[in-house]
Amino acid sequence: MSLEQLRDQVCASLMMLAPELEGSAVLVDECLASARQTFHDDVIARFSPEAWARITLIYHKHFLDTGCDVAVADIVVEVIRDAINTSRLDMLTLKLAQDRRYQQEKNKPAPSLSIVRDSGSSDR
């Protein structure tokens, strides 16, 4: 999706989220401009229009309306910092490493589990 398409969808989402806002397109433009100062366009396009609508609303509600302008990148960093759970990060990183290792060894059969029964033992 192009940034222009994203912008249009963010404007529509913001109008549905907060219909009382006037000039929502200007707010979206300011928010996306702030994001573009730090993030590449492809990173910005990975967020959904609904997410950008909420980010835009928060960006203006908590920062611009109070006279204190904080970059969208700073907001995103704070959210990520708050959301990181190191035990979950460890588990997800291990899974990612295993998946990458498996992709490197595509010629090998997929690892599988099998049940092995001991036929020499008897239940008494």
| pLDDT 10s digits, 58-73 | 988 887 778 887 888 9
Alpha-carbon distance values, 29 to 23, 33, 36 (Å)? 10, 6, 10
Within 8 A by CB and 6+ apart from 39, the residues are 72, 73
d(CA 9, CA 102): 38
Q: Do residues 31 and 72 touch, judged by C-beta distance below 8 A? A: yes
| Tens of pLDDT, residues 15-45 | 999 999 888 899 999 999 999 999 999 999 9
Please state which of the ranges 89-93, 104-108, 118-122 shows the lowest mean pLDDT: 118-122
% of the chain surpassing 70 pLDDT: 85
Please check whether residue 71 is in contact with residue 38, taking contact to mean a CB–CB distance below 8 angstroms: yes
Report how far apart the first and last C-alpha atoms of the chain are (Å, whole number): 67
Q: What is the pLDDT of residues 47-60, one digit of tens each?
A: 999 999 999 999 88
Q: What is the helix (H) or strand (E) element at residue 45, kind and residue range? A: helix 41-46
Amino acid at 6: L
Identity at 72, one-letter amino acid code: V
